Protein backbone atom coordinates (compact mmCIF):
# COMPACT_ATOMS: atom_id res chain seq x y z
CA UNK A 1 0.00 0.00 0.00
CA UNK A 2 1.00 3.62 -0.42
CA UNK A 3 0.55 5.16 3.02
CA UNK A 4 0.64 8.86 3.89
CA UNK A 5 1.90 9.51 7.43
CA UNK A 6 1.11 12.96 8.79
CA UNK A 7 3.44 13.65 11.69
CA UNK A 8 5.65 10.79 10.53
CA UNK A 9 8.85 12.41 11.85
CA UNK A 10 7.52 12.24 15.41
CA UNK A 11 7.91 9.59 18.10
CA UNK A 12 5.16 7.14 17.16
CA UNK A 13 5.15 8.06 13.45
CA UNK A 14 8.87 7.31 12.97
CA UNK A 15 8.56 3.87 14.58
CA UNK A 16 5.47 3.12 12.51
CA UNK A 17 7.26 4.20 9.33
CA UNK A 18 9.98 1.63 10.00
CA UNK A 19 7.40 -1.15 10.47
CA UNK A 20 5.58 -0.19 7.27
CA UNK A 21 8.78 0.00 5.20
CA UNK A 22 9.84 -3.42 6.55
CA UNK A 23 6.52 -4.85 5.39
CA UNK A 24 7.08 -3.51 1.88
CA UNK A 25 4.64 -0.60 1.99
CA UNK A 26 5.53 2.69 0.32
CA UNK A 27 5.48 5.66 2.67
CA UNK A 28 5.01 9.39 2.23
CA UNK A 29 5.67 11.57 5.26
CA UNK A 30 4.24 15.04 5.86
CA UNK A 31 5.57 16.93 8.86
CA UNK A 32 6.10 20.57 9.80
CA UNK A 33 8.74 19.73 12.46
CA UNK A 34 6.77 21.62 15.11
CA UNK A 35 7.76 18.85 17.54
CA UNK A 36 10.40 16.83 15.70
CA UNK A 37 13.64 17.15 13.79
CA UNK A 38 14.71 16.39 10.20
CA UNK A 39 17.37 14.04 11.58
CA UNK A 40 14.55 11.59 12.45
CA UNK A 41 14.06 11.06 8.71
CA UNK A 42 17.75 10.19 8.21
CA UNK A 43 17.53 7.70 11.06
CA UNK A 44 14.45 6.04 9.55
CA UNK A 45 16.32 5.64 6.24
CA UNK A 46 19.36 4.28 8.06
CA UNK A 47 17.38 1.69 10.07
CA UNK A 48 15.09 0.58 7.25
CA UNK A 49 17.58 0.75 4.39
CA UNK A 50 14.75 2.21 2.31
CA UNK A 51 13.80 5.65 1.07
CA UNK A 52 10.45 7.42 1.12
CA UNK A 53 8.95 10.70 -0.04
CA UNK A 54 8.90 13.61 2.37
CA UNK A 55 7.02 16.91 2.34
CA UNK A 56 7.71 19.65 4.87
CA UNK A 57 4.18 20.97 5.21
CA UNK A 58 1.37 21.69 7.64
CA UNK A 59 -1.31 19.00 7.58
CA UNK A 60 -3.85 21.76 8.22
CA UNK A 61 -2.83 23.63 5.02
CA UNK A 62 -5.49 22.81 2.39
CA UNK A 63 -3.35 23.83 -0.60
CA UNK A 64 -0.37 21.78 0.51
CA UNK A 65 -2.56 18.76 1.20
CA UNK A 66 -4.31 19.14 -2.16
CA UNK A 67 -0.94 19.11 -3.91
CA UNK A 68 0.31 16.09 -1.98
CA UNK A 69 -2.87 14.13 -2.71
CA UNK A 70 -2.68 15.16 -6.39
CA UNK A 71 0.95 14.06 -6.72
CA UNK A 72 0.56 10.67 -5.03
CA UNK A 73 -1.85 7.73 -5.39
CA UNK A 74 -2.57 7.33 -1.70
CA UNK A 75 -4.25 4.15 -0.45
CA UNK A 76 -4.39 5.00 3.24
CA UNK A 77 -3.49 7.79 5.67
CA UNK A 78 -2.24 7.51 9.22
CA UNK A 79 -2.91 10.83 10.89
CA UNK A 80 -0.35 11.27 13.70
CA UNK A 81 0.15 15.03 13.28
CA UNK A 82 -1.01 16.88 16.34
CA UNK A 83 0.07 18.80 19.39
CA UNK A 84 0.04 16.47 22.37
CA UNK A 85 1.04 18.12 25.68
CA UNK A 86 -1.88 17.95 28.08
CA UNK A 87 -0.66 20.75 30.40
CA UNK A 88 0.37 23.07 27.56
CA UNK A 89 -3.06 22.65 25.97
CA UNK A 90 -4.64 24.28 29.05
CA UNK A 91 -2.46 27.39 28.49
CA UNK A 92 -2.81 27.69 24.71
CA UNK A 93 -6.09 25.89 23.99
CA UNK A 94 -6.85 27.73 20.74
CA UNK A 95 -3.56 26.65 19.21
CA UNK A 96 -4.45 23.06 20.09
CA UNK A 97 -7.96 23.28 18.66
CA UNK A 98 -6.70 25.06 15.52
CA UNK A 99 -3.87 22.60 14.85
CA UNK A 100 -5.52 19.35 15.82
CA UNK A 101 -9.01 19.97 14.45
CA UNK A 102 -8.02 21.84 11.27
CA UNK A 103 -5.61 19.06 10.31
CA UNK A 104 -8.36 16.45 10.73
CA UNK A 105 -10.88 18.46 8.66
CA UNK A 106 -8.33 19.37 5.98
CA UNK A 107 -7.38 15.72 5.54
CA UNK A 108 -11.00 14.60 5.28
CA UNK A 109 -11.65 17.27 2.65
CA UNK A 110 -8.58 16.24 0.64
CA UNK A 111 -9.67 12.58 0.92
CA UNK A 112 -13.13 13.42 -0.38
CA UNK A 113 -11.77 15.47 -3.28
CA UNK A 114 -9.21 12.85 -4.31
CA UNK A 115 -11.31 9.74 -3.64
CA UNK A 116 -9.17 8.36 -0.79
CA UNK A 117 -11.31 6.39 1.65
CA UNK A 118 -9.11 4.89 4.36
CA UNK A 119 -7.62 6.61 7.38
CA UNK A 120 -6.22 5.59 10.75
CA UNK A 121 -6.29 8.25 13.45
CA UNK A 122 -4.10 8.69 16.56
CA UNK A 123 -6.64 8.94 19.33
CA UNK A 124 -5.88 8.47 22.99
CA UNK A 125 -7.04 6.80 26.19
CA UNK A 126 -7.46 10.36 27.43
CA UNK A 127 -10.90 10.34 25.74
CA UNK A 128 -12.16 8.10 28.58
CA UNK A 129 -11.47 10.81 31.19
CA UNK A 130 -11.85 9.45 34.73
CA UNK A 131 -12.57 5.76 34.12
CA UNK A 132 -15.81 4.38 35.58
CA UNK A 133 -14.05 1.04 35.85
CA UNK A 134 -10.94 -0.69 34.57
CA UNK A 135 -10.06 -2.29 32.23
CA UNK A 136 -11.40 0.24 29.74
CA UNK A 137 -13.50 -1.05 26.88
CA UNK A 138 -14.26 0.92 23.73
CA UNK A 139 -17.99 1.07 24.49
CA UNK A 140 -17.40 3.08 27.66
CA UNK A 141 -18.40 6.78 27.51
CA UNK A 142 -15.69 8.91 25.93
CA UNK A 143 -16.64 12.50 26.61
CA UNK A 144 -15.27 13.41 30.01
CA UNK A 145 -11.68 14.40 29.39
CA UNK A 146 -10.27 17.28 31.40
CA UNK A 147 -7.93 19.06 28.94
CA UNK A 148 -8.30 20.93 25.65
CA UNK A 149 -5.89 18.35 24.21
CA UNK A 150 -8.27 15.57 25.21
CA UNK A 151 -11.19 17.46 23.70
CA UNK A 152 -9.36 17.71 20.37
CA UNK A 153 -9.24 13.90 20.35
CA UNK A 154 -12.91 13.50 21.29
CA UNK A 155 -13.95 16.13 18.74
CA UNK A 156 -11.78 14.62 16.00
CA UNK A 157 -13.31 11.21 16.71
CA UNK A 158 -16.78 12.78 16.34
CA UNK A 159 -15.80 14.53 13.09
CA UNK A 160 -14.61 11.17 11.69
CA UNK A 161 -17.82 9.43 12.77
CA UNK A 162 -19.98 12.12 11.17
CA UNK A 163 -17.94 11.95 7.96
CA UNK A 164 -18.44 8.17 7.90
CA UNK A 165 -22.18 8.53 8.46
CA UNK A 166 -22.36 10.83 5.44
CA UNK A 167 -20.05 8.80 3.19
CA UNK A 168 -20.57 5.02 3.17
CA UNK A 169 -17.26 4.48 1.36
CA UNK A 170 -15.21 5.92 4.19
CA UNK A 171 -13.24 3.69 6.57
CA UNK A 172 -11.79 5.14 9.77
CA UNK A 173 -9.90 3.36 12.54
CA UNK A 174 -9.69 5.42 15.72
CA UNK A 175 -6.73 3.96 17.62
CA UNK A 176 -6.86 4.86 21.30
CA UNK A 177 -3.28 4.57 22.56
CA UNK A 178 -2.57 4.05 26.24
CA UNK A 179 0.93 5.07 27.49
CA UNK A 180 3.54 4.56 24.75
CA UNK A 181 7.13 4.23 26.00
CA UNK A 182 10.31 2.47 24.83
CA UNK A 183 12.20 2.94 21.61
CA UNK A 184 13.45 1.06 18.56
CA UNK A 185 15.90 -1.63 19.63
CA UNK A 186 18.64 -0.06 17.47
CA UNK A 187 18.71 2.89 19.87
CA UNK A 188 18.73 5.24 16.86
CA UNK A 189 15.20 6.66 17.23
CA UNK A 190 13.11 7.32 20.31
CA UNK A 191 11.15 9.97 22.16
CA UNK A 192 12.92 13.34 22.08
CA UNK A 193 10.86 15.81 24.12
CA UNK A 194 11.53 19.55 24.13
CA UNK A 195 12.53 21.02 27.49
CA UNK A 196 11.82 19.28 30.79
CA UNK A 197 9.70 16.20 30.11
CA UNK A 198 6.18 15.94 31.53
CA UNK A 199 5.82 12.22 31.01
CA UNK A 200 7.20 9.54 33.27
CA UNK A 201 9.62 7.57 31.08
CA UNK A 202 11.43 10.51 29.46
CA UNK A 203 11.76 12.05 32.93
CA UNK A 204 13.21 8.82 34.33
CA UNK A 205 15.65 8.55 31.41
CA UNK A 206 16.87 12.10 31.92
CA UNK A 207 17.41 11.47 35.64
CA UNK A 208 19.33 8.30 34.75
CA UNK A 209 21.60 10.21 32.33
CA UNK A 210 22.22 12.91 34.95
CA UNK A 211 20.38 15.75 33.18
CA UNK A 212 17.83 15.99 35.99
CA UNK A 213 18.67 15.43 39.67
CA UNK A 214 15.81 13.17 40.74
CA UNK A 215 12.38 11.91 39.84
CA UNK A 216 9.34 13.20 41.73
CA UNK A 217 6.77 10.41 42.16
CA UNK A 218 3.42 12.18 42.13
CA UNK A 219 1.49 10.70 45.06
CA UNK A 220 1.68 7.40 46.94
CA UNK A 221 -1.72 7.55 48.59
CA UNK A 222 -3.87 6.35 45.68
CA UNK A 223 -6.12 3.30 46.11
CA UNK A 224 -3.67 1.07 44.21
CA UNK A 225 -1.46 -1.81 45.44
CA UNK A 226 1.58 0.40 46.23
CA UNK A 227 -0.26 3.74 46.39
CA UNK A 228 1.18 5.11 43.13
CA UNK A 229 -0.84 5.50 39.93
CA UNK A 230 -1.30 2.57 37.58
CA UNK A 231 -1.05 2.88 33.79
CA UNK A 232 -0.99 0.65 30.73
CA UNK A 233 2.51 1.25 29.34
CA UNK A 234 2.91 -0.06 25.81
CA UNK A 235 6.14 -0.47 23.84
CA UNK A 236 6.18 1.94 20.88
CA UNK A 237 7.27 -0.86 18.53
CA UNK A 238 4.18 -2.90 19.51
CA UNK A 239 2.13 0.23 18.89
CA UNK A 240 3.75 0.64 15.47
CA UNK A 241 2.84 -2.96 14.60
CA UNK A 242 -0.75 -2.20 15.60
CA UNK A 243 -0.81 0.50 12.91
CA UNK A 244 0.37 -1.94 10.27
CA UNK A 245 -2.61 -4.15 11.19
CA UNK A 246 -4.96 -1.17 11.30
CA UNK A 247 -4.25 -0.11 7.71
CA UNK A 248 -5.13 -3.65 6.54
CA UNK A 249 -8.33 -3.52 8.59
CA UNK A 250 -9.22 -0.07 7.20
CA UNK A 251 -8.80 -1.36 3.64
CA UNK A 252 -11.18 -4.27 4.26
CA UNK A 253 -13.96 -2.50 6.20
CA UNK A 254 -16.19 0.57 6.10
CA UNK A 255 -17.34 2.95 8.81
CA UNK A 256 -15.65 4.20 11.99
CA UNK A 257 -14.22 1.84 14.61
CA UNK A 258 -12.57 2.83 17.90
CA UNK A 259 -9.92 0.34 19.06
CA UNK A 260 -7.75 0.41 22.21
CA UNK A 261 -4.04 -0.22 21.78
CA UNK A 262 -2.73 -1.26 25.17
CA UNK A 263 -1.29 -4.37 26.80
CA UNK A 264 -4.11 -4.85 29.30
CA UNK A 265 -1.55 -4.87 32.12
CA UNK A 266 -1.38 -2.05 34.65
CA UNK A 267 1.98 -1.08 36.16
CA UNK A 268 2.46 1.45 38.94
CA UNK A 269 4.94 4.32 38.86
CA UNK A 270 7.12 2.41 41.33
CA UNK A 271 6.92 -0.76 39.19
CA UNK A 272 8.40 1.25 36.33
CA UNK A 273 11.05 2.88 38.52
CA UNK A 274 12.12 -0.45 40.04
CA UNK A 275 12.13 -2.27 36.74
CA UNK A 276 14.20 0.50 35.10
CA UNK A 277 16.80 0.27 37.89
CA UNK A 278 16.95 -3.53 37.78
CA UNK A 279 17.02 -4.07 34.02
CA UNK A 280 19.58 -1.34 33.42
CA UNK A 281 21.54 -1.85 36.61
CA UNK A 282 21.42 1.84 37.36
CA UNK A 283 20.44 3.90 40.37
CA UNK A 284 17.51 6.26 40.05
CA UNK A 285 17.11 8.83 42.79
CA UNK A 286 13.45 9.60 43.45
CA UNK A 287 11.24 11.13 46.12
CA UNK A 288 7.54 10.89 46.83
CA UNK A 289 5.81 14.19 46.15
CA UNK A 290 2.19 15.38 46.21
CA UNK A 291 -0.39 14.26 43.68
CA UNK A 292 -0.38 15.89 40.23
CA UNK A 293 -3.65 17.61 39.26
CA UNK A 294 -5.79 15.61 36.88
CA UNK A 295 -4.13 12.20 37.41
CA UNK A 296 -6.50 9.25 37.64
CA UNK A 297 -5.54 6.39 39.99
CA UNK A 298 -5.80 3.58 37.46
CA UNK A 299 -6.05 3.42 33.67
CA UNK A 300 -5.50 0.30 31.61
CA UNK A 301 -7.02 -1.19 28.50
CA UNK A 302 -9.10 -4.17 27.70
CA UNK A 303 -7.20 -4.99 24.49
CA UNK A 304 -9.53 -7.78 23.31
CA UNK A 305 -11.12 -5.75 20.50
CA UNK A 306 -7.69 -5.17 18.94
CA UNK A 307 -7.01 -8.90 19.13
CA UNK A 308 -10.37 -9.79 17.56
CA UNK A 309 -10.53 -7.13 14.82
CA UNK A 310 -6.87 -6.53 14.02
CA UNK A 311 -5.29 -9.83 15.08
CA UNK A 312 -2.88 -7.76 17.18
CA UNK A 313 -1.55 -8.26 20.68
CA UNK A 314 1.30 -6.44 22.40
CA UNK A 315 4.33 -8.72 22.65
CA UNK A 316 6.89 -6.70 24.58
CA UNK A 317 7.02 -6.45 28.35
CA UNK A 318 8.07 -3.95 30.98
CA UNK A 319 11.75 -5.06 30.82
CA UNK A 320 11.88 -4.44 27.06
CA UNK A 321 10.31 -1.01 27.54
CA UNK A 322 12.77 0.00 30.27
CA UNK A 323 15.82 -1.42 28.46
CA UNK A 324 15.00 0.16 25.11
CA UNK A 325 14.13 3.56 26.63
CA UNK A 326 17.51 3.65 28.35
CA UNK A 327 19.37 2.35 25.31
CA UNK A 328 17.94 5.25 23.27
CA UNK A 329 18.69 7.85 25.97
CA UNK A 330 22.24 6.73 26.72
CA UNK A 331 23.18 6.56 23.03
CA UNK A 332 21.59 9.96 22.33
CA UNK A 333 22.05 12.08 25.46
CA UNK A 334 21.02 15.18 23.49
CA UNK A 335 18.23 13.45 21.61
CA UNK A 336 18.44 14.06 17.86
CA UNK A 337 20.44 17.33 18.20
P1 LIG B 1 5.12 13.75 18.41
O2 LIG B 1 4.95 15.16 18.81
O3 LIG B 1 6.44 13.08 18.60
O4 LIG B 1 4.72 13.59 16.85
C5 LIG B 1 3.76 14.40 16.23
C6 LIG B 1 4.37 14.90 14.94
O7 LIG B 1 3.40 15.70 14.26
C8 LIG B 1 5.60 15.77 15.15
O9 LIG B 1 6.62 15.34 14.28
C10 LIG B 1 5.13 17.18 14.78
O11 LIG B 1 6.17 17.95 14.23
C12 LIG B 1 4.05 16.86 13.77
N13 LIG B 1 2.99 17.86 13.63
C14 LIG B 1 2.23 18.44 14.59
N15 LIG B 1 1.31 19.24 14.04
C16 LIG B 1 1.49 19.17 12.69
C17 LIG B 1 0.85 19.76 11.58
N18 LIG B 1 -0.18 20.61 11.73
N19 LIG B 1 1.29 19.46 10.35
C20 LIG B 1 2.33 18.62 10.16
N21 LIG B 1 2.97 18.01 11.18
C22 LIG B 1 2.55 18.30 12.42
O23 LIG B 1 3.96 12.93 19.11
P24 LIG B 1 3.71 11.35 19.18
O25 LIG B 1 3.94 10.94 20.58
O26 LIG B 1 4.41 10.65 18.09
O27 LIG B 1 2.15 11.33 18.95
C28 LIG B 1 1.58 11.09 17.68
C29 LIG B 1 0.07 11.20 17.80
O30 LIG B 1 -0.38 10.27 18.77
C31 LIG B 1 -0.41 12.58 18.27
O32 LIG B 1 -1.61 12.89 17.58
C33 LIG B 1 -0.71 12.35 19.74
O34 LIG B 1 -1.71 13.22 20.22
C35 LIG B 1 -1.19 10.91 19.74
N36 LIG B 1 -1.00 10.25 21.05
C37 LIG B 1 0.24 10.23 21.62
C38 LIG B 1 0.40 9.63 22.86
C39 LIG B 1 1.73 9.64 23.56
O40 LIG B 1 1.76 9.46 24.78
N41 LIG B 1 2.85 9.84 22.88
C42 LIG B 1 -0.69 9.00 23.48
C43 LIG B 1 -1.92 9.01 22.84
C44 LIG B 1 -2.07 9.64 21.61
C1 LIG C 1 2.27 8.47 34.09
C2 LIG C 1 2.29 8.32 35.61
C3 LIG C 1 2.08 10.40 36.81
C4 LIG C 1 5.88 12.13 35.64
C5 LIG C 1 -0.29 11.12 29.37
C6 LIG C 1 -1.46 11.86 28.79
C7 LIG C 1 -2.32 10.93 28.00
C8 LIG C 1 -1.51 10.19 26.95
C9 LIG C 1 -0.32 9.53 27.55
C10 LIG C 1 -1.60 11.50 24.92
C11 LIG C 1 1.26 9.21 36.30
C12 LIG C 1 3.42 9.74 37.08
C13 LIG C 1 4.81 11.28 35.77
C14 LIG C 1 6.71 12.38 36.77
C15 LIG C 1 5.37 10.89 38.06
N16 LIG C 1 -0.99 11.10 25.95
N17 LIG C 1 4.55 10.67 36.96
N18 LIG C 1 6.41 11.74 37.92
O19 LIG C 1 -0.55 11.28 32.49
O20 LIG C 1 -0.81 8.76 32.30
O21 LIG C 1 -0.79 10.13 30.26
O22 LIG C 1 0.44 10.48 28.31
O23 LIG C 1 -2.70 11.24 24.52
O24 LIG C 1 -3.31 11.70 27.42
O25 LIG C 1 -2.21 12.43 29.84
O26 LIG C 1 1.30 9.84 31.49
O27 LIG C 1 3.73 9.67 31.68
O28 LIG C 1 2.61 11.85 32.31
O29 LIG C 1 2.33 9.85 33.76
O30 LIG C 1 5.12 10.34 39.14
O31 LIG C 1 7.67 13.18 36.71
O32 LIG C 1 3.57 8.76 36.08
O33 LIG C 1 1.57 10.98 37.99
O34 LIG C 1 0.78 8.50 37.39
P35 LIG C 1 -0.28 10.03 31.77
P36 LIG C 1 2.57 10.36 32.27
**Residue-level pLDDT at 142:** 81
Q: Does the beta carbon of 31 sit less than 6 angstroms from any atom of ligand 1? A: yes
Three-state DSSP state, 122: strand
- Is the CA virtual torsion 79, 28, 244, 36 positive or negative? negative
- Rounded CA-CA distance 165/181 in Å is 34
Q: Does the beta carbon of 176 sit less than 6 angstroms from any atom of ligand 2? A: no
Helix (H) / strand (E) element for 12: namely: helix 11-22
**Residue-level pLDDT at 146:** 76
C-alpha atoms less than 13 angstroms from C-alpha of 228 in its C-beta half-sphere: 17
Summarize pLDDT for 47-87 with one digit per residue, the tens. 999 999 999 999 999 999 999 999 999 999 999 999 999 99
Three-state DSSP state, 114: helix
**Residue-level pLDDT at 141:** 87
Give the residue whose CA is nearest to atom 23 of ligand 2. Answer: 124
**Residue-level pLDDT at 144:** 75
Name the closest ligand to CA 36: 1
Name the closest ligand to CA 336: 1
Integer-rounded Cα Rg, in Å, for the chain is 19
Among the listed residues 149, 203, 233, 300, the single catalytic one is 149
For ligand 2, pick from 269, 274, 293 the residue to mutate: most ligand atoms within 8 Å of CB: 269
Q: Does the beta carbon of 81 sit less than 6 angstroms from any atom of ligand 1? A: yes
pLDDT tens across the length of the chain (337 residues): 999 999 999 999 999 999 999 999 999 999 999 999 999 999 999 999 999 999 999 999 999 999 999 999 999 999 999 999 999 999 999 999 999 999 999 999 999 999 999 999 999 999 999 998 999 999 998 877 779 999 999 999 999 999 999 999 999 999 999 999 999 999 999 999 999 999 999 999 999 999 999 999 999 999 999 999 999 999 999 999 999 999 999 999 999 999 999 999 999 999 999 999 999 999 999 999 999 999 999 999 999 999 999 999 999 999 999 999 999 999 999 999 8
Q: Does the beta carbon of 325 sit less than 6 angstroms from any atom of ligand 1? A: no
For ligand 2, pick from 88, 136, 199 the residue to mutate: most ligand atoms within 8 Å of CB: 199
Q: Does the beta carbon of 86 sit less than 6 angstroms from any atom of ligand 2? A: yes
**Residue-level pLDDT at 290:** 98
Q: Does the beta carbon of 3 sit less than 6 angstroms from any atom of ligand 2? A: no
Q: What is the pTM of this model?
A: 0.99
Indicate which atom in ligand 1 lies nearest the CA of residue 9.
9
* CA proximity to 265, closest of 226, 233, 223: 233
320: number of Cβ within 10 Å: 17
Q: Among this protein's residues, is 222 annotated catalytic?
A: no
Amino acid sequence: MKVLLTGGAGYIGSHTCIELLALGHDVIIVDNFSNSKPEALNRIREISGRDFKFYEADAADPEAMDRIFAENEIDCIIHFAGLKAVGESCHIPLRYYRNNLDSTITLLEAMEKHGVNNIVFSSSATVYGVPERVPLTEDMPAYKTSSPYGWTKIMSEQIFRDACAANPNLSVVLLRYFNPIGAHESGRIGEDPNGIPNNLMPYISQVAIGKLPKLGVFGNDYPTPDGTCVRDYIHVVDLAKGHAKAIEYAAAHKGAEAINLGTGIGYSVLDIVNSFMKVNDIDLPYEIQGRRDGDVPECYADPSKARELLGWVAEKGIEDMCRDSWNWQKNNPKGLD
